[in-house]
Amino acid sequence: MSSPVPASDARRIFIDKQSPKAYHALVQTSEAVRTVAAEAGLDRTLVELVNLRVSQINGCAYCLHVHTRAALRAGETTQRLGVLAAWRDTELFSPEERASLALAEATTHPADAGAQDAAYAAARRVLTDDQISAVIWVALTINAFNRVSIMSRHPVRP
């Protein structure tokens, strides 16, 4: 009987490279979601805030790296990026952004029905049905990419 490989010696498979057809389908979904978000009137910075907040919750270093750069390119400020994890404790985010972030968090933690109901109610006050749907799709998609990168241990290089 062989002994298991120690965790420090276990080489991870980059599942995006190992199963490119599945990964390509996820990329196509992401592209469709980006279009849906734009058609719903969601600003690119708001989409990137959702991507970043979900990636913070999931602890995905690779996606945090990618989407921080994307947010900065879209015009997001370093101040808002720096306090994103504590967005509820600042006045820096609009009601639409706050509702979107709460909805993204509820999508990331779907078992918390109370948070989900509260987030949905807040979103209903300031977002259209198309925007609510788009925010949920953005959160669902980045959650999937987070898991691809975390399970593959995609590196963040300097």
Q: What is the pLDDT along the chain (158 residues), one digit of tens a residue?
A: 545 545 555 789 999 999 999 999 999 999 999 999 999 999 999 999 999 999 999 999 999 999 999 999 999 999 999 999 999 999 999 999 999 999 999 999 999 999 999 999 999 999 999 999 999 999 999 999 999 999 999 999 99
Two tokens at 2?
């062989």
Among the listed residues 99, 134, 137, 131, the one whose alpha carbon sits nearest the alpha carbon of residue 118: 99
> Which pTM value belongs to this model?
0.92
